[in-house]
Amino acid sequence: MPNEAVLEDIIATDLSILDPQLLVIGRQVQTMYGKYIDLLAMDIEGQLVVIELKRDKTPRDVVAQALDYGSWIRTLQDDDIAAIFDDFQQRYCATAVSLDDAFRQRFRVDAMPDELNASHRLLIVASELDPGTERIVAYLATEYDVPINVAFFRFFREGDAEYLSRAWLLDPTVVEANHPPKTKEPWNGECYVSFGGDSKRRWQDARQHGYISAGGGEFYINTLRSLAEGERVWVNVPGTGYVGVGRVLEPAKPITEFEVEDDQGVLKPIFEVVPDLPYLDVELEKREHFVRVEWIETVALTDAIKERGFFGNQNTVARPRTDKWVHTVERLKKRFRIPG
């Protein structure tokens, strides 16, 4: 790539090449220390994501700088975040909208989360890092649960065509998006599930036919495959709230192999029973995948359970080890009237 300023333009214009579940809220954001964050983004749970390009910084300097930015980001309040977004709109966008409107439009939800910036993530973008820096990032992420990762980009040109490829230093599905606790908690055996993200993926269908699903790429499908028979899942519709709890009956299957009963009780392929499913006409690895679930309790979207301080995560499936997840499950047991 000619220079990393080009990469910043590309990512700022189309953040989906980095993460399809992010909204850019700031560019060249000045911190109170006089430094500038290349890009600042927000996910559907209201968590902030610092995106820092390596540029001409030494590899270890960029890690230290990302950590420094994180120390500042954690202090931002709702009005600070709104002001950053307003500045971004004025400097880089042709039309101005509110952060609320941009969030609702980007994630197709009715309202923003009650709590913004409950946690944050750090993402370094680079063409390469030295082995020592890679070890430092991996050490921080795996030993101390620092939510930091590196995305590597490669630039290719063939004639007039230009191509960009991406790879991760660490599997993003195992780098927890929520703010880590000071000490690790033992996993409580309960699985978190994020259901939604597409207008064709309807909770009323999943509730009726007993399944959870994800599609559109490995980022979403990979963790769904990790669910094993017998595990209990608590289902959250991002931006709406928790809508169900159930037991996994069988591992994930692609749409071509998953069957449900029709109105007459006859087993048929799900795409013959449930209309207008997402990701039907895409390559096989991106097609919708389904996990069969026996529901213990469910509610309609209009009765979704949402409280301040509840756990949220962008991954389809997570096994959190945090106080927040323990609190969330205990509260949901009471709200759903589920015995311990």
Task: Determine the Cα–Cα distance for residues 307 and 55; give it in Å rounded to an integer.
Answer: 41
Secondary structure (H, E, C), 15-26: HHHCCCCEEEEE
- DSSP helix/strand/coil, 275: coil
Least confident of 17-21, 183-187, 286-290: 183-187
Kindly report the average pLDDT of the chain as a whole number.
Answer: 86
The pLDDT tens digits for 224-233 are: 999 999 999 9
Higher-confidence residue of 96 and 76: namely: 76
Secondary structure (H, E, C), 232-261: EEEEEECCCEEEEEEEECCCCEECCCCEEE
pLDDT computed for residue 180 by the predictor: 43
Task: Determine the Cα–Cα distance for residues 281 and 196; give it in Å rounded to an integer.
Answer: 19
Q: Are the CB atoms for 340 and 329 separated by under 8 Å?
A: no
- Torsion sign, CA atoms 212, 217, 223, 226: positive
pTM listed for this prediction: 0.60
Task: Determine the Cα–Cα distance for residues 11 and 7; give it in Å rounded to an integer.
Answer: 6
**309-333: burial string, b at 16+ Cβ within 10 Å, e else:** ebbbbbbbbbbbbbebbbebbeebb
The pLDDT tens digits for 124-181 are: 988 778 888 888 998 998 888 888 998 888 778 888 887 777 788 887 765 544 344 4
For residues 260-288, average pLDDT = 90
- Please report the domains of the chain, with CATH numbers, ordered by start residue: 4-174 (3.40.1350.10), 190-336 (3.10.590)
Contacts 24+ apart (CB under 8 A), 61-67: 62/124, 62/126, 62/133, 63/124, 63/133, 63/136, 63/137, 63/148, 65/35, 66/122, 66/124, 66/148, 67/122, 67/146, 67/148
pLDDT computed for residue 181 by the predictor: 40
Q: Are the CB atoms for 316 and 220 separated by under 8 Å?
A: yes
Share of the chain above pLDDT 70, in %: 92
Q: The tokens 């930015």 sit on which residue?
A: 69
Task: Determine the Cα–Cα distance for residues 245 and 22; give it in Å rounded to an integer.
Answer: 27
Query: Which residues sit opposite 233 in a β-bridge?
Result: 191, 246
For residues 2-25, average pLDDT = 80
pLDDT computed for residue 127 by the predictor: 78
The pLDDT tens digits for 102-123 are: 998 888 877 777 678 888 999 9
Q: Is the pLDDT of residue 193 over 90?
A: yes
Least confident of 54-63, 64-73, 201-210, 280-289: 54-63
pLDDT computed for residue 1 by the predictor: 61
